[in-house]
Every structure is written in C-alpha cells, then in structure tokens.
C-alpha cells in the first residue's frame, strides 16, 4: 500500500521547468534574473513563433515585410533602465522654483504645483501605501518651503539637524516625483530627481539611523524607483531597508510593547507592511529571493483583529513585573485566545493556528470599520494578504531547482487561497463599474482585479513550458487564457486610472496576458478572431504605458511582432487565395504518384511532408485545407488538439541541470526556423538588464 501511495505521489509531481538566466559580463561582473520574472516563458513563446513561415514563404505582401523588426532580449522587457521623461518645462513665468539643497533631488516645485502634487499623492497612492503620517508630512512640506521664495535654501548648512533635513527633502521630493506620474500632472524638468544613481549615493548617509524618519525616507525613495521602473536600484535600497527594520524591531508587532505610544504603533505597522508588499513585488519582478520570511514575522495585518494587545497590569504591587514570563505569554496570540475564551466561554480560532481571518472581518467586540482611516487600513490589509499569497507562489515555483518541489496538491491549495482572497473582497471593489462612484474602495477596482488575474497567471505560467501533450500544460493554458481575457477586458475599461498606469505590476500583468493569448492562438487553442481583438487591446494599453516606461515600448514592439506573425499565419493565405478548395478531380485521372504535378497554392502555408505522406489514394477525393473557423465552431476546446508548429521544437531553452523525467533540451537542428529565430530574438546573452539604474 505504501509503495502504491509513493507511486501516486510521484505521478502528481511537476518538474521544475522554469529557470533563471545568468550572464557573466566580464571577469568580475555578472547579472542574474530569476525564473519568477517570466523571462523563461517569454523565450518559450518566442521560440515557438520562430517556426512560423515568413511572408515570403506564403507569397509575399507589401503590408507584411519579409524581415520583421527583431525585439530586444527578453531580459530587459520588465526591468529596463530609467526612462527619460518627455514632459515639458511647465514652470509659469514669474514663478521661481526653490532649491532643495541637494543637487540630486532637483529644485522644489512652485507652491501651487506642490499643493497639486500633494493632493494627487494622498488621493491615489497614500491609501494603498500609507507609510507616511499625513499631518506630519504636510508640516514637513511647510518646513521645506520655509525659506524666502526665489532664494536657494541649503538645509545641510542651515538646519541644526542635517540628518532630519535630508530625510525631509528625500521624502518630499520622492513623493512629488511619485505624484507626477498621475495623468494630467506635469513637473518641471528642473524639479525632478536628476537620476536614481545620484539618489542612491545620497541615501547612503541614512543607513546608520534606523529611526522612523529614515525608514519613511527610504520607503519613499524605493517607491519612487519602482514607479520609474528602476527596479535594480529599488532592490538595492530595499536590501538596506530590511536590515534597518530588523535592527529597529519593525518586524515584530508593535502592540506587544507597552513602551511605544499608540500613534507610533500604528505607523510602525504600516511601515512594515508597505515594505513587505515592495519585497514581494521586487522578488517577482526580478526573480530574486525574498527578504522577509513569514516565519520570522508576527506583525498583525491591518484590518484584522489585533492579536498582540498589551496586557494591562492590574495585579497588586507584589505580582510579577511587566517582563515576567506570565505577561510575556499573555500578550502573545495564544494568550489572547485563552483570555477571550475565559471571558466569553467560547472557543476562538486564531489566524496563527491555521485559520486565517481575512481583512475586513473584524470581531463584533471591535465594531465595524466606519471611518476613512479604517477603510484605508482595510485596503492595506487586503493588499498585504495578497502579498503573502504572492510570496507563497514564489516559494513554491521559483526556489532553487535543487530544492524545488511542486505537486498538484500544493498548486490546488494555493489556487484555492487566491480565489478565496478574491471572493472575500468588498463588493465595491469587485463590481465597480467604469467611471462609477468615487468611494475609497471602488477607485481601486482595476488595481485589485489586476492583482487577482496576475496571480492566476503566475500560478499557471510555469506549466506552459511543459511538453504540450501533458495534461498539466493543457489545463494551465486554458486557465491562463481565461485570466488573460478577464484582465485585458477589465483594464481596457479603466485606462484613465492613474494608479494602475503607474504601478509596474500592471505592465507585467498586461505583458504576460498578451504572451499567453499569442501563444494559445499559435497552438490553435484560441480563435484568431478573438485573439486579434484582445491583442489590439493589449497593444493599446502598452502604448499608453510606453509614455512612462521604455520597458513598455519594448513589450509593445515585441507583442506587435507576434501579432503580425499571427496575421501572416491566419489571414495571408486567405488574402492570397480566396478560393480555399481546388475544383474536384476525377479519381480515375489521378495517378498513384505524380512527381510532375503542379502544387496547389493553398498548401503553401502547410508544413512539409515526406514523399510517403504525399502518396494519394486514388479512391479518395483531394484533401481540403484545414478550416480554422469551422474547427472552433464545432468545439471551443478540442479533445485532441492538433498543433500547427513543428513537433520537434520544444519551447524550452537548452541548459545543463538535473533530470526532470523528460527531454528538456532543444534539438540540434531547427531547419529553416533557426535562421528566423536568430533574427527575431537576437538572443545574445551579453546583457541581462541594462546596467544603468
């Protein structure tokens, strides 16, 4: 029996197909991007498209040139260098910008512009990442504008506390830079942060003081770098930030410590969860290991019941002190549950006992969230719980291949948790119509739907590089198609959402959805009539994003190339040969083998067959070319799909690694498709990402 169970367990295991990319740029320099970034899947799709014939092979066309432009290597698509802003100098005449005192931070904008930027930030960004205290930040802005307008103000020489002045100016200028990504706002070039490299050098002096002001300044700088797609620079700041948070004990729930006043407890909790969300985002975008391990963290999620309430000392004077073992155990989650059971006489489940309580589901004793602050806390809690799920996905699929273990039970469990997270969202987030109410939660409808569908894509993407006859590949492809369709359709209706167009996760989600739709169409698993519309939507979204990020322009160019190649496959034969079937021939006039016969033009786009396969039965009518529309009209999901690409070309790059139970190497010869592949991909692994940050 145990042997049979072992066999069943082995049959349900999934080989770790996705791997990262390592490039040595010199004797002492190298770069790495992990498999979580999606670079492996992008190359899988590109290699599959290399087998498509060029327009010359299908008869030629002026609309489709014989040599399509080649996209850059996939490594740079989602982690390119900082873009040069195309915004114009809009400082009104007669208004003079002030100096921030730090050349890398640029000039302070005019007071009027600073007010607009502050309002935009607190409307769009602060409810999602509330690591700042609003009233305190407004005071810092007033201090920054405390000098005489038109005069240079050097806080390094003027202020009595240079460290605080630096924290203030870094926070203010980064907040202004983040808010400037909002559609409709333009910031003078002189008022922008000059470069992320200069900002990195300026932040070095903040690493020695793990206080709240320094942590907030580093978080503001990290968020700014993320919004301008300088992900490597953001990851560098994040590494120092996490160490500082460990030094300050931010990873421990502040409600455990009576020494901390109530306002400080709340801001410490918000600082931690914002850093936690950034950690998961950077880990997925770059494919790097996570900095926060869930087993080392006990900070309660905002919007959930607080499990670490300080225990009031109401014992007599001769009772144990605050640091006694009894009180230490009492304020832990287990002690809180026992105290609540003692008071109510009912058993209470704790999230740390394996029963997670979702944000927004508060205890009746705590009341329902009514104020704007509680709604804001609930939004942060919802994003934080999604970040926990994202970390679980990354740990499941993208650990080292030597320790990676993926089985269907684990995949089904995390998939269920993702669906549960989505189903527990408030209705104002799930069902918000485009251009609807301005309620705090409904404004983030497209943000949450993108997180949900992107999670489903991340769950199914690793299986799309398996051999295409495997059941896991077929199921995951259909699930990924559904998530891609929902994502593109919803995003297309909310293109004016400022937060969505400025958060890099949206670019990764839209790019992955476009690749999935293209890949499925190539394999005849999705109708071309539908995919053409969805690819047009995807290209329109990427075009909007390209105004902010050069990475979006690269994704747009690559996806446009794939779309044009699909047109070559599905529309060019019909354009060149409107009559799909030749006139019938008499069977008795056909010879068994006719070497000198003229080839019908309708078969030019079909794969080559051997001489033996070209032998025709005199008793059979001539073969008709396949009708794609008729196939899909009969069945949307064919039981035995027939792929039109070469079966000898597996869509996984060649590498040396452990035996996964199937052949993961590419064949030595691709035939004519290899030359085309070299032109399209130009996979010269000379650069992994752009070295500039």
380-427: per-residue pLDDT in tens? 999 999 999 999 999 999 888 777 888 888 999 999 999 999 999 988
For the chain, give me the number of helices (H) and strands (E)?
24, 6
Mean predicted confidence (pLDDT) in 302-314: 68
**Given this model, what pLDDT does residue 235 score?**
95
DSSP state of 53: P
Phi, psi of 642 (to 5 degrees): -115, 115
Q: Per-residue pLDDT for 41 more than 70?
A: yes
Highest mean pLDDT among 93-97, 107-111, 515-519, 650-654: 515-519
Residue whose pair of structure tokens reads 């051997």 in the numeric block: 610
Q: Per-residue pLDDT for 283 more than 90?
A: yes
Least confident of 244-258, 411-425, 610-624: 610-624
**Given this model, what pLDDT does residue 458 score?**
96
Residue extents of the structural domains in the chain: 1-83+376-576+636-693, 98-306, 307-356
Summarize pLDDT for 74-100 with one digit per residue, the tens: 655 655 554 443 333 344 444 444 555
* Residue 691: pLDDT band with limits 50, 70, 90: very low
CA distance linking residue 165 with residue 185, whole number of Å: 27
> How far are the Cα atoms of 391, 397, 404, 464 from residue 461, in angstroms, in the given order?
16, 10, 16, 5
Q: Report yes or no: 316 and 422 within 8 Å, Cβ to Cβ.
A: no
Both tokens of 153, joined, read 């103000």
Q: Per-residue pLDDT for 684 more than 80?
A: no
**Given this model, what pLDDT does residue 311 score?**
53
Q: Per-residue pLDDT for 129 more than 70?
A: yes
Q: Per-residue pLDDT for 349 more than 70?
A: no
Highest mean pLDDT among 21-35, 48-62, 103-117, 612-626: 103-117
Mean predicted confidence (pLDDT) in 140-162: 58
- Number of other residues whose CB lies within 10 A of the CB of residue 644: 15
Both tokens of 344, joined, read 């109510």
Q: Report yes or no: 692 and 82 within 8 Å, Cβ to Cβ.
A: yes
b or e along 174-204 (b: 16 or more beta carbons within 10 Å of the residue's beta carbon)? bbbbbbbbbeebebbbebbbeebeebbebbe
* Average pLDDT of the residues of the chain: 72
Q: Report yes or no: 286 and 79 within 8 Å, Cβ to Cβ.
A: yes
DSSP string, 255-273: GG-TTS-HHHHHHHHHHHH
Residue whose pair of structure tokens reads 């691709």 in the numeric block: 670
CA 213 vs. chain centroid, Å, equals: 29
**Given this model, what pLDDT does residue 74 score?**
62
Contacts 24+ apart (CB under 8 A), 415-419: 415/456, 415/459, 417/389, 417/392, 418/389, 418/452, 418/455, 418/456, 418/459
The two most distant CA atoms of the chain are separated, in Å, by 114
3-state secondary structure at position 570: helix
Handedness of CA 100, 141, 441, 493 (dihedral sign): negative
Least confident of 41-50, 163-172, 347-356, 390-399: 347-356
DSSP string, 195-207: -HHHHHHHHGGGT
CA distance linking residue 523 with residue 631, whole number of Å: 13
CA distance linking residue 153 with residue 109, whole number of Å: 13
* Residue 342: pLDDT band with limits 50, 70, 90: very low
**Given this model, what pLDDT does residue 452 score?**
97
Torsion of CA 188, 189, 194, 199, to 10 degrees: 20
Least confident of 11-25, 71-85, 460-474: 71-85
CA distance linking residue 190 with residue 103, whole number of Å: 10
Q: In terms of pLDDT, which residue wins out, 574 or 72?
A: 574
**Given this model, what pLDDT does residue 94 score?**
42
CA distance linking residue 665 with residue 524, whole number of Å: 24
**Given this model, what pLDDT does residue 657 score?**
39
Least confident of 270-274, 333-337, 631-635: 631-635
List the beta bridge partners of residue 419: none
Summarize pLDDT for 43-84 with one digit per residue, the tens: 889 888 887 665 544 444 445 444 444 444 565 565 555 444
**Given this model, what pLDDT does residue 160 score?**
55
Both tokens of 407, joined, read 């089985």
With pLDDT > 70 as the criterion, what percentage of the chain qualifies?
59
Handedness of CA 124, 130, 136, 141 (dihedral sign): negative
Q: Count Cβ atoms within 10 A of the Cβ of residue 345 and give its class: 0-12 exposed, 13-18 middle, 19 or more buried.
A: exposed
């Amino acid at each position: 029996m145990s042997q049979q169970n072992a066999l069943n367990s082995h049959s349900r295991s999934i080989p770790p197909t996705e791997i990262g990319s390592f490039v040595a740029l010199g004797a002492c320099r190298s770069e790495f991007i992990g498999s979580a970034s999606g670079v492996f899947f992008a190359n899988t799709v590109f290699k599959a498209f290399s087998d498509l014939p060029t327009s010359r092979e299908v008869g030629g066309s002026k609309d489709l040139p014989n040599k399509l432009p080649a996209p850059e290597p996939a490594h740079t698509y989602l982690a390119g260098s900082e873009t040069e802003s195309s915004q114009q100098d809009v400082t009104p005449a007669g208004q003079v910008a002030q100096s921030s005192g730090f050349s890398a931070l640029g000039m302070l904008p005019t007071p009027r512009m600073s007010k607009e930027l502050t309002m935009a930030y607190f409307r769009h960004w602060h409810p999602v990442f509330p690591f700042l205290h609003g009233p305190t930040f407004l005071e810092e802005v007033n201090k920054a504008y405390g000098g005489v307008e038109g005069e240079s103000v050097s806080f390094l020489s003027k202020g009595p506390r240079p460290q605080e002045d630096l924290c203030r100016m870094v926070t203010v200028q980064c907040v202004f830079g983040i808010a400037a990504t909002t559609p409709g706002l333009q910031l003078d070039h002189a008022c922008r942060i000059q470069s992320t490299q200069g900002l990195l050098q300026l932040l070095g002096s903040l690493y020695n003081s793990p206080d709240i002001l320094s942590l907030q300044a580093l978080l503001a700088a990290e968020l700014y770098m993320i919004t301008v797609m300088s992900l490597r620079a953001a990851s560098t700041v994040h590494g120092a930030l996490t160490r500082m948070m460990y030094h300050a004990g931010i990873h421990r729930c502040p409600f455990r410590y009576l020494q901390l006043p109530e306002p400080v407890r709340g801001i410490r909790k918000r600082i931690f969860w914002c850093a936690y969300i950034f950690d998961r985002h950077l880990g997925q975008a770059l494919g790097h290991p996570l900095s926060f391990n869930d087993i080392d963290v006990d900070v309660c999620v905002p919007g959930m019941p607080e499990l670490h309430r300080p225990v009031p000392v109401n014992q007599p004077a001769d009772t144990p002190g605050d640091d006694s073992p009894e009180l230490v155990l009492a304020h832990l989650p287990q002690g809180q549950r026992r105290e609540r059971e003692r008071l109510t006489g009912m058993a209470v489940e704790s999230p740390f006992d394996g029963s997670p309580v979702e944000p927004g589901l508060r205890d009746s004793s705590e009341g329902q969230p009514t104020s704007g602050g509680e709604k804001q806390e609930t939004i942060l809690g919802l994003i934080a719980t999604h970040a926990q799920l994202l970390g679980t996905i990354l740990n499941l699929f993208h650990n080292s291949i030597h320790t990676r273990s993926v089985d269907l039970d684990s995949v089904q469990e995390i998939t269920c948790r993702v669906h549960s997270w989505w189903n527990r969202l408030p209705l104002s987030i799930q069902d918000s119509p485009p251009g609807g109410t301005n309620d705090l939660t409904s404004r983030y409808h497209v943000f949450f739907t993108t997180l949900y569908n992107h999670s489903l894509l991340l769950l199914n993407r690793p299986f799309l590089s398996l051999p295409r006859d495997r059941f896991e590949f077929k199921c995951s492809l259909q699930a990924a198609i559904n998530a891609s369709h929902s994502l593109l359709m919803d995003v297309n209706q909310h293109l004016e959402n400022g937060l969505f167009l400025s958060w890099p996760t949206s670019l990764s989600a839209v790019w992955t959805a476009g690749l999935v739709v293209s890949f499925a169409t190539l394999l005849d698993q999705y109708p071309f009539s539908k995919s053409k519309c969805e690819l047009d939507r995807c290209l329109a979204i990427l075009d909007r994003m390209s105004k902010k990020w050069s990475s979006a322009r690269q994704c747009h160019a690559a996806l446009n190339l794939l779309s044009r190649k699909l047109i070559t496959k599905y529309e060019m034969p019909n354009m060149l040969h409107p009559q799909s079937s030749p006139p019938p021939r008499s069977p008795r006039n056909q010879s068994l083998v006719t070497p000198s016969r003229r080839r019908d033009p309708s078969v030019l786009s079909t794969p080559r067959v051997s001489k033996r396969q070209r032998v025709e039965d005199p008793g059979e009518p001539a073969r008709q070319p396949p009708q794609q529309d008729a196939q899909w009209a009969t069945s949307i999901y064919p039981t035995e799909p027939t792929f039109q690409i070469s079966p000898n070309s597996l869509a996984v790059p060649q590498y040396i690694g452990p035996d996964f139970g199937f052949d993961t190497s590419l064949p030595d010869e691709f035939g004519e498709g290899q030359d085309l592949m070299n032109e399209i991909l130009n996979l010269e692994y000379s650069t992994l990402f752009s070295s500039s940050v």
